[in-house]
Amino acid sequence: MKTTRPHLRTTGARRSRGRRRQWGVATVEFAFIAPVLFFLLCMVMDLGIALWVNLTMQYAVREGARYAVTGQTGLDPDQKNPQRYLAVIEEIREQSMGLYSLVNPSYAITVNNGKAQSYSDNASYTANMFGNPGDIVVLQINCAWPMITPMIRSFFPGGFFNFSVAATMRNEGF
């Protein structure tokens, strides 16, 4: 005669119910942790993009300054009366990988030939604004990059990551 063991059948049922309960607990725990993880992921991506934009604009300014100190004007869109300033801006625009119009740039150009001169976007530009051979030229651009993540945006004034990039070079003999 075969004896049945009723206690074995009930423990198996209890085990499967316990597993279902644990699966539900894991879901609830994930629901609590997921927003924090997604927030951290978005924050890292947003800050990473902002730093990439900063480095890209630094590269563009360095290339623009290199173009300026060699005395070139070949990129000036107005070839009738070529100006170094417009050619330098065009070089920066080309080297910025399309970010130029997104960062809303403003310029400050300082030429140190014994006395410092500064220019901004609104100044009237002269043919000699980048100085003479041997002068030190500082080309600085102030930029503002909009932060994408709403919660991160609240940590930055106006929701923009404001940064400045500059390049300092000595004019070549041109």
Domain chopping of the chain, boundaries: 17-170
pLDDT at res. 22: 67
Per-residue pLDDT tens for 26-45?
A: 888 899 999 999 999 999 99
Report the C-alpha gap between 78 and 60 in whole angstroms: 21
Q: What is the mean pLDDT of residues 48-65?
A: 94
Coil vs helix vs strand at 60: helix
Q: What is the mean pLDDT of residues 119-126?
A: 51
Tell me what the pLDDT averaged over the chain comes to: 79
> What b/e readout covers 9-33, taking b as 16+ CB neighbours within 10 angstroms?
eeeeeeeeeeeeeeeeeeeeeeeee
CB 103 within 8 A of CB 93: no
pLDDT > 70 in the chain, percent: 70
Residue 35: is it exposed, middle or buried by C-beta count within 10 angstroms (0-12/13-18/19+)?
exposed
